[in-house]
Every structure is written in C-alpha cells, then in structure tokens.
C-alpha cells in the first residue's frame, strides 16, 4: 500500500514539475469567446471557434486529440495530435505549438506545424 502511495505521489510531482517548467497550465480550458461558450459541447455555431484543453484542440471544422505533448526549451509546448477534419473519413496527424502571447502573458498563441498562427486564446471562465 505504501509503495502505491509513493508511486502516485511521484507521478503527481512529475506532472506538476512539467506544468511549472512549461509555464503553460492546460488543466482548465482556453478558448476565444465562442470556444469558451462551447467548452461543454456545441452550443452555438461560430466560424472562429477555437478551444484548447489538456486533451484536445477543437475548431468549427476540426477536432484534434493530443497523443503527446513536449515542453520545449523556450517554455512552449509542442503537441502531436490526430485530427478529424470535417468532410474527411480518416484521422490525419498534426503538430501544434502552444506558447505564451508576446502581447499578454495570460493568453496563449496556437500555431500549426507550418508556423501559421491559428489564433490566440484566454483561459475560459
């Protein structure tokens, strides 16, 4: 029983240290206005919807589930994902970079693998 508690405590400590090292805490969702409105499921349709959680990235036409997240030396996160895109049958691999906004440290910027910025998100309330 004690060994199990030690393993659980070590895992929790490791997870916390990774989150602190990254400086990006995804334990609560981030989104733009319409993304946060839809954080508990599709409630309104909005072309600009962008929602980021610790497990996924969702837009109006795409839902991506993270398979791996790595903290980079600059504190950003690189997230590998499998994405379901509207109108396509198969999942596609993708990679995103998530970093603090240069303009506002409370916001995150999400960029695709090609470096194009998808948008800026704030923590949902």
Going through 1-125 in order, the beta strands assigned E by DSSP cover 30-31, 50-52, 56-59, 62-71, 77-85, 92-100, 108-112, 117-123
- At 108 the pLDDT is 97
Q: What is the pLDDT of residue 50?
A: 96
Residue 106 belongs to domain spanning: 2-123
What pLDDT score does 44 carry? 75
Domain count, the chain: 1
Q: Which residues pair with 31 in a beta bridge?
A: 51, 122
pLDDT band at 7 (very low <50, low <70, confident <90, very high): very low
Taking only the tens place, the pLDDT of each residue in 52-110 is: 999 999 999 999 999 999 999 999 999 999 999 988 889 999 999 999 999 999 999 99
């Amino acid at each position: 029983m004690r060994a199990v508690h030690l393993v659980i405590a070590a895992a929790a400590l490791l997870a916390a240290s990774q989150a602190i090292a990254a400086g990006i805490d995804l334990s609560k969702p981030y989104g733009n206005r319409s993304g946060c409105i839809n954080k508990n499921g599709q409630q309104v349709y909005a072309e600009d919807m962008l929602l980021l959680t610790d497990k996924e990235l969702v837009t109006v036409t795409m839902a991506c589930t993270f398979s791996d997240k790595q903290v980079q030396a600059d504190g950003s996160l690189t997230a590998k994902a499998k994405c379901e895109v509207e109108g396509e049958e198969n999942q596609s691999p993708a990679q995103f970079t998530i970093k603090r906004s240069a303009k506002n440290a409370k916001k995150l910027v999400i960029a695709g693998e090609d470096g194009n910025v998808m948008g800026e998100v704030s923590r949902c309330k």
